[in-house]
A and B are shown apart, each in its own frame.
Chain A
Amino acid sequence: MPGLLNEGGVVAAVVGSPVKKSKLSLKFFQKKDTKRALDFSEAPAEDNDTAEPEETTNHDQVVPMPCPSSPLTCEKHESLVPFVGLNNLGNTCYLNSILQVLYYCPGFKEAIKSLCLLAKLKDKQQDDGAKNEGDTGEDTLPVSMELLGSFHSIISSVEQLQSSFLLNPEKYSDGELATPPRKLLNTLRQLNPMYEGYLQHDAQEVLQCILANIQEACDNIKKEQTDNQKDSTLSNGMGESNHEDDGSSNGQLSGKRKSDTEAGNSKKRAKSQSKSKKNEENVPMTRSKRKSSSGITTESSDQRNGTEEKEQEKDRGSTIEEEKNDSPPKEEGKRTRRGKLGWLKPSGKQPSIFSKFRSMGRITSHVGGRGETKEKSDCSVQEKQEKDTSENESRTQEVKQSLEKNKEQSGLDVLKWMFQGQLVLRTRCLECECFTERREDFQDISVPSTLSDDVSPDPKPELKTLKWAISQFASVERIVGQDKYFCETCHHYTEAERSLLFDKTPEVITIHLKCFAANGSEMDPYAGLSKVNTPLQTPLKLSLHEWCAQPDSPDRSHHYELFAVVMHSGVTISSGHYTTCIRMMDLHHTTLRLQSQDEDQDRDREDDTKQKKEEVPRTEYDDGEVSFSLPGRGQNVARVSTTISMSSKSVSKRSSEGVGLLGGQRSITSYELSNSNQTNPEKVSGSASRAAGSLLQNTVKKETEEEGVDAMDDGTQVSFDVALRNLLDFEGKWMLFDDSEVRLFEEEDFLRACSPETCSTSTPYLLFYKRVSQ
């Protein structure tokens, strides 16, 4: 029954525990042995929980504080902020930045948890090795499911680390509050070999890759559920409808897949399919004809999806040429310049840059390409949801706990609900004013951040706002002149207008700023591509009202609020560093876990990372991985001690060094936001800066710790309250997540960093807006 989570946890524990303990002991333990003891006692339970996702979820429920969304990890500590960083495992800041965003994305954590629950439920039901999915099941289980599990494990470890920190801040007085996302990284590498090695990668691609695979996992779960339903012979109208939907969607998926599959892919697929088949065999399920046609039981489907995605990724990653091939249709589709839609297609590799580049200059209304990818994603999501619902239904009968079911449903639905919107391509004849519409799903939108040569001349290039960028994406295009539009109503070639509008807007809208421009004469390998370091004016609030097909729809507001930004620092596109700024919200929902084991695990993990380095100076430790830490550390140190200028230098160095797309380098670059650094120390936010570490911060932490301690002594509840109070101090504040380092980022500084006035090399790359009610 060991779940994916278990694995991660176990591994982390095994590797890290000894070392970490020693480390921790130096500081934390001394202060509070009692606490530790408590932690330990609880810890085993935690481990179990982690081992068995179900239990963990149960725990969450059980915990006094109901946590609909527990986006926050560890925040307050003495000098440490009670939020958990992620260790850099070797140029993995691209991954860390995305993971942080997802972690704090409202509802996402819960979705993952419930998904894991569902997945495990399945396992139980099936009595199969399917259970193994999370941990050992790699071979049998679809990688997407593994991803789910590893994601869950990282979430739980972060949560545990956070709560343990909150409850026992002293432990962490000197240490770092961070956990290495090793397992997730491994899964990612399975998903897409492109991520092997320690190259830098593009954060957006990782995001797409992760989301796509999680959706596939959802699909698989759905399928299983539906299958289960059928098995159980539940004849709910709902269930049936769901089945049908699933089938259709499956068909679509398959079709798309076909389209996607190009010469290169076929081989890979075949392999994947074979695997999936095996999986299928494992799982006894009855399928509707459609399903059968589509292919496989849920698990198998999951695998397929996963494999397919992998394939896609591989393809993308493997050859730029392929991407190029993909691109032309896009170009065709676009008539004018529009931002390109980003898709779930996990385009994970360097080629993506090219695609982006293309998309920048040209209009990427590449409907076809997008559509496919989107549809896939959509379909998958839908399927997932449907499955979930169906599962839920079926299970409701079977399953004892309605709550769990609900969670499941929400989980399955949430992914789609959260990230997926729909665009309408509306073509209107100017003669008869009839229009035709085509709808496409999207998961992020790519907008230009600069006027490249190709981009339409905007009246005021100086004032580049996000609004301008979006209007570039969703602008109206006229079909006039030589190639008019043939209107079926007029039986005549007429002039027409084509507009791209948001039909459905997701809860979280992801805006991908294409900050690359074609500048000739660059020596770098990405011939002529250079990074645009002048950020757009990034508003904290965004309204999509004017680009909505149904602007006045009462049910949903089109107002959004910025909650996370992935920043890229680096002079060139070929290298750099990612950091994430996240606005802390709904901290009161944070669930504190008493499980000491979790902490231990976390520690262990940390220890693991540390182990190798062992008691290396913390700066190194912070850096995360052993191998990489060296260059980063040096920079880090420099950064910490010195000012902005230093940081910039370091950045430049890195850029020269860096191989990856946008960067995967460690936290070093982040320092560019030196302004923040300077301010930070004074403010509590101070990242758990290691070496020189701010004494002030430490003191602060201690205070918090003390409080926490007291609370602990009095009783867990009290400690919770205190801890929560500490947490809540950060409500609404911006936190800068720089790999393992987390620190407060004053909003002013943040805004400055996001406005075109600053000329730093650190620019917003991905913007995440969440819907707010008017």
Chain B
Amino acid sequence: MQVSYVIRDEVEKYNRNGVNALQLDPALNRLFTAGRDSIIRIWSVNQHKQDPYIASMEHHTDWVNDIVLCCNGKTLISASSDTTVKVWNAHKGFCMSTLRTHKDYVKALAYAKDKDGNKDSIYSLAMNQMGTVIVSGSTEKVLRVWDPRTCAKLMKLKGHTDNVKSLLLNRDGTQCLSGSSDGTIRLWSLGQQRCIATYRVHDEGVWALQVNEAFTHVYSGGRDRKIYCTDLRSPDIRVLICEEKAPVLKMELDRSADPHSAIWVSTTKSTVNKWSLKGILNFRASGDYDNDCSAPLTPLCTQTEQVIKGGASIIQCHILNDKRHILTKDTNNNVAYWDVLKACKVEDLGKMEFDEEIKKRFKTVYVPNWFSVDLKTGMLTITLDESDCFAAWVSAKDAGFTSPDGSDPKLNLGGLLLQALLEYWPRTHINPSDDETELNHGMNGEHESRIQKGNGYFQVPPHTPVIFGEAGGRTLFRLLCRDSGGETESMLLNETVPQWVIDITVDKNMPKFNKIPFYLQPHSSSGAKTLKKDRLSASDMLQVRKVMEHVYEKIINLDSESQTGAASAEKPSEQKEEEDMAVLAEEKIELLCQDQVLDPNMDLRTVKHFIWKSGGDLTLHYRQKSTETNAIQDEFVSSSGLEKFSIA
């Protein structure tokens, strides 16, 4: 079980990524686009050409692979790589039901149930308008024909040499058109159970097909980015309609007029174009078509009739060393700076060299990984997994948070984030044990409000989608952050939130600090003999400064002040003089790792990661600064001595 969330704007008006499917509602002049950004958008295509956006239908959590409009445009069905099929009220744009019967990506829809039963993934489906025949195309390279009423297998059609990605059936289900990754379009007779004709129009795989009602002209598009219209009866008559800028994923004929006046085309880019077909008749009539395949055709259209502008999708990202901020680059080469913890964009940096910016923002800080990033939707999807979610601790000061009492508590980034994501979930508002909460949170000030919401440091945008899913990617439950207070959502959360999230958000059980083992030895230059190796252990966030204090206090001081005294003698003075000690220690002592003098502000994990580098336990050496004339005397370090620091 994983918890994910998406960093995005509250309203995403533009397709963020490629568009996998299109459906046109001619009655309302609405276009539905099924985006790889997981969002189905509704566009008004007749009016508002400047701002055609009407609404988004957001419930999917992964690519929407196919949509089908049915029931006279009242209902939309969508299939997604989140393994669900959803049924929507197409007019109002809300999700009516979710079918979770699939165990893998749902790639294609044909108005009705699709058939499983073979091992090969189905990439295309078609059903005739009478609902008597279903055809499926798959990596099996074979078309399988079914009777949807009886679920009986009718036949298999062999001929393609590669995956079948697009299928069309004529009205009565007697003829079928298939477009395949092998680059061909085939026309099949279901009555004769054979291939009637093969059209080699494209240079590469054919991914999208449309056909007129009479089943005489096929429009095809695919990987070669070109869209052709081919006369099925005389294949030499073909017209290059246009050339897109990216591989064509889907086409939708505008059937409001006959002959068709335009075609909508979606590609792997986020922009959806409408191309006019008006010239095609003249083109044909003129006999100007070029049936010489060798010569490059000139496209019928060079200008789009209408454009539904797409947004930029993030194509590259880099997690900075603080494991909190991310640099991204989008399709427009714009670089942005994000805060994972607050689930928001911090800064748009505009067009710049991505790698340069990464270098510029490099910090010698080591924080363990605690989340993973996914760009599949073109937006940032952050996923937290139980295995490492709580790995990262930072001090509040470093994180830029101040606690009311001025202390500098250690914060667990994953824990804080989970608390923020479920801030509105009522169950997290009840504290089983106030004391514990107080202790763990170090939030004395706000405790008086009695109901403590969130984590007390920050909030995530309330529109942030939160997704509970299986590790493999199947989505179990998606909701918006702010909706977790709703009754239904609360109930569902009770069922889906995994225990490890409950522990931190409801029970407020903070995870334990990470301990790091290390050795502390006098530096060889001091002339001291190597002591018996004592293995120390401390929080991996312990600053070098603290270790220096320890050295000063336990080793140097012992020598200078009370050579006969025992270590216990130091205890009373410890707290009072702590600050003095720190100053003194820094003045007199330096720590080295791999013969490199350490910055007192570094913490142990950073030292280990950036300086120690190798495996095995970290070994630190101490020596008195060169100004010191006192020779460091040998003294063994008790391994218990450092334990206290881990609590600090």
Which A residues are in CB contact (< 8 Å) with B81?
Answer: 492
Contact residues of B between 280 and 324, Cβ < 8 Å to A: 315
Does A482 lie at the interface of the complex (its beta carbon under 8 Å from any beta carbon of B)? yes
Q: A430-B123, A432-B247, A492-B81 are in contact. Are A481 and B104 (CB under 8 A)?
A: yes
With a cutoff of 8 Å between Cβ atoms, the chain B residues found around residue A491 in the complex are: 315, 374-376, 378
> Does chain B have a CB within 8 A of A322?
no
Bound Cα distance A490, B120 (Å):
21
**Chain B 134-154 interface 0/1 with A at a Cβ cutoff of 8 Å (1 = within):** 000001000000000000000
A433 at the interface (CB under 8 A from B): yes
- The residue in chain B whose Cβ has the minimal distance to the Cβ of A491 is B375
Q: Which of A478-526 contact B (CB under 8 A)?
A: 478, 480-482, 490-493, 495, 497
Q: Which of B63, B123, B204 contacts A492 (CB 8 A)?
A: B63
Q: Is B472 an interface residue (CB 8 A)?
A: yes
Q: How far is the CB of A723 from chain B (nearest CB, A)?
A: 54
CB-CB under 8 A for A482 and B472, given A430-B123, A491-B315, A491-B376: yes
For A430, give the chain B residue with the smallest CB separation.
B163
Task: Count chain B residues whose beta carbon lies closer than 8 angstroms to a beta carbon of A.
Answer: 23
Interface size on A, residues (CB 8 A): 13
| CB-CB under 8 A for A492 and B376, given A433-B223, A478-B139 | yes
Residue B181 at the A interface, CB < 8 A?
A: yes
Question: Which has the most chain A C-beta neighbours within 10 Å: B120, B139, B315?
Answer: B139
Q: For residue A482, which residues in chain B have a CB less than 8 angstroms away from its CB?
A: 472
Separation of A478 and B104 alpha carbons in the complex (Å): 15
| Minimum CB–CB distance for A381 against chain B, Å | 35
CB atoms of B104 and A432 under 8 A apart = no
Q: Give the shortest distance, in Å, between B375 (CB) and chain A (any CB).
A: 4
With CB as the reference atom, state the residue of chain B lying closest to A493.
B473
Which of A433, A481, A492 is close to B181, meaning CB atoms less than 8 Å apart?
Answer: A433
A433:B204 contact, CB within 8 angstroms: yes
Knowing A430-B139, A433-B205, A492-B81 are in contact, say whether A480-B376 is a contact too (CB < 8 A): no
Q: Which residue of B lies closest to A486 (CB)?
A: B376
Residues on the B chain within 8 Å of A478, using CB: 120-121, 139
Within the assembled complex, what's the spacing in Å between the Cα atoms of A430 and B108?
14
- For the complex, is B268 an interface residue (Cβ under 8 Å from A)? yes
Give chain A nearest CB distance to B314 CB in angstroms.
Answer: 9
* Contact partners of A492 in chain B: CB under 8 A: 36, 63, 81, 376
Give the residues from 150 to 183 in chain B that come closer than 8 angstroms, CB to CB, to chain A: 163, 181
A-B contacts counted at CB < 8 A amount to 35
**Shortest Cβ distance from residue A426 to the other chain B in the assembled complex, whole angstroms:** 13
Q: Nearest-CB distance from A72 to chain B (Å)?
A: 44
Question: A481–B472 Cα gap in the complex (Å)?
Answer: 10
Nearest-neighbor residue (CB-CB) of A476 within chain B: B139
* Residues B376 and A432 in contact, CB atoms below 8 Å apart: no
Q: How far is the CB of A487 from chain B (nearest CB, A)?
A: 10
| Residues 9-27 of A contacting B (Cβ, < 8 Å) | none
Distance of A481 Cα from B105 Cα, bound (Å): 9
Main secondary structure of the interface of B (DSSP, over half): loop
* Complex Cα spacing A237 to B204, Å: 41
A139-170: CB near B (< 8 Å → 1, else 0) gives 00000000000000000000000000000000
Q: Smallest distance from the beta carbon of A726 to chain B beta carbons, Å?
A: 52
CB pair B139–A495 under 8 Å, yes or no, is yes
Are B268 and A432 in contact, with the CB atoms below 8 A?
A: yes
**Shortest distance from the beta carbon of A497 to any chain B beta carbon, whole Å:** 7
Rounded to whole angstroms, the CA-CA distance of A500 and B163 in the bound complex is 18
Residue of B at shortest CB range from A434?
B223
Contact with B along A690-702 (1 / 0, CB 8 A): 0000000000000
A492 closest partner in B (C-beta)? B376
CA distance A533 to B447 in the complex (A): 82
Per-position 1/0 for A93-130, Cβ under 8 A of B: 00000000000000000000000000000000000000
* Interchain CA distance A491-B373 in the complex, whole Å: 11
Which residues 179-233 of B sit at the A interface, judged by CB distance below 8 A? 181, 204-205, 223
Asked whether A495 lies within 8 Å of B121 as measured between CB atoms, the reply is: yes
* A487, closest chain B residue (CB): B376
**A432 contact set on B, CB distance < 8 A:** 223, 247, 268
**Residues of A contacting B472 with CB < 8 Å?**
482
Residues of B within 8 A of A495 (CB): 105, 121, 139
Contact yes or no, B121 A480, CB < 8 A: yes
CA distance A492 to B107 in the complex (A): 14
Q: Kindly supply a per-residue 1/0 record for chain A positions 572-592, scoring 1 wherever the CB is within 8 Å of any chain B CB and 0 otherwise.
A: 000000000000000000000
A478 — nearest CB in chain B belongs to which residue? B139
Shortest distance in angstroms between B595's beta carbon and chain A's nearest beta carbon? 28
As a 0/1 sequence over residues 455 to 482 of chain A, the CB contacts with chain B under 8 angstroms (1 = contact) are 0000000000000000000000010111
| Bound form: Cα–Cα A493–B381 in Å | 14
**Cα–Cα distance between A111 and B172 once the two chains are bound (Å):** 69
Chain A residues with CB under 8 A of B105? 495
- A486 to nearest B CB, angstroms? 10
Expressed in whole angstroms, the Cα–Cα distance for A481 and B119 within the complex equals 10
Indicate which residue in B139, B204, B374 contacts A497 across the interface (CB closer than 8 Å). B139
Residues of B with C-beta under 8 A to A481: 104
Chain B residues near A493 (CB, 8 Å)?
376, 473
Residues of A184-205 contacting chain B, CB below 8 A: none
> A107 to B13, alpha carbons, bound, how many Å?
70
What 1/0 mask marks residues of chain B from 378 to 421 whose CB sits below 8 Å from any chain A CB?
A: 10000000000000000000000000000000000000000000
Tell me the smallest distance from the CB of B629 to a CB of chain A, in Å: 48
Chain B, range 233-262, C-beta contacts under 8 Å to A: 247
Residue among A433, A482, A497 facing the most chain B CB atoms (10 A cut-off): A433
Contacts of B374 in A (CB 8 A): 491
A510 to B247, CA, bound (A): 42
A497 to B378, CA, bound (A): 24
Q: How far is the CB of A448 from chain B (nearest CB, A)?
A: 21
Residues of chain A lying within 8 A (CB to CB) of residue B104: 480-481
What's the least CB distance linking B277 to chain A, in Å? Answer: 27
Contact with B along A543-582 (1 / 0, CB 8 A): 0000000000000000000000000000000000000000
Q: What residues of A have a CB within 8 angstroms of the CB of B204 in the complex?
A: 433
What sequence of 0s and 1s flags, for each residue 516-540 of chain A, a beta carbon within 8 Å of any chain B beta carbon? 0000000000000000000000000
> Which partner residue on chain B sits nearest A488 by CB separation?
B315
| A contact residues around B247 at 8 Å (CB) | 432
Q: In the complex, what's the smallest C-beta–C-beta distance from B183 to chain A, in angstroms?
A: 10
Instruction: Give chain A residues whose Cβ lies under 8 Å from the Cβ of B375.
Output: 491
In the assembled complex, the Cα of A213 lies from the Cα of B378 at a distance in Å of: 54
| Cα distance, A211 to B123, chains bound together (Å) | 47
Query: Could you say which residues of chain A place their CB within 8 Å of the CB of B121?
Result: 430, 478, 480, 495
- Bound-state CA distance A30–B322 (Å) is 96
A480 to B120, CA, bound (A): 9
A481 CA to B163 CA, complexed, in Å: 17
Residues of A430-456 whose CB lies within 8 A of B = 430, 432-433
Residues of A within 8 A of B205 (CB): 433
Closest-CB distance, A703 to chain B (whole angstroms): 59
A194 to B206, CA, bound (A): 57
Q: When chains A and B are docked, how far (Å) is the Cα of A482 from the Cα of B315?
A: 24
User: Smallest Cβ distance from A238 to chain B, in angstroms?
Assistant: 38
Neighbouring A residues of B123 by C-beta, 8 Å: 430
Roughly how many angstroms separate A410 CA and B375 CA in the complex, as a whole number? Answer: 53
From A483, which residue of chain B is reached at the shortest CB distance?
Answer: B472
Closest to A495 in B: B121
Given the complex, which residues of B lie within 8 Å of A497, measured CB to CB?
139
Contact flags B491-534 to A (C-beta < 8 A → 1, else 0): 00000000000000000000000000000000000000000000
- What 3 A-B pairs have minimum CB-CB distances, sorted nearest first? A492-B376, A491-B375, A433-B205
Please list the residues of chain B having a beta carbon within 8 angstroms of any beta carbon in chain A: 36, 63, 81, 104-105, 120-121, 123, 139, 163, 181, 204-205, 223, 247, 268, 315, 374-376, 378, 472-473
Contacts A480-B121, A493-B376 known; 13 new A-B pairs at CB < 8 A:
A430-B139, A430-B163, A432-B247, A432-B268, A433-B181, A433-B205, A433-B223, A478-B121, A482-B472, A491-B315, A491-B378, A492-B36, A493-B473
16 A-B pairs with CB atoms under 8 Å apart are A430-B139, A430-B181, A432-B223, A432-B247, A432-B268, A433-B223, A480-B121, A482-B472, A490-B376, A491-B315, A491-B376, A492-B81, A492-B376, A493-B376, A495-B105, A495-B139
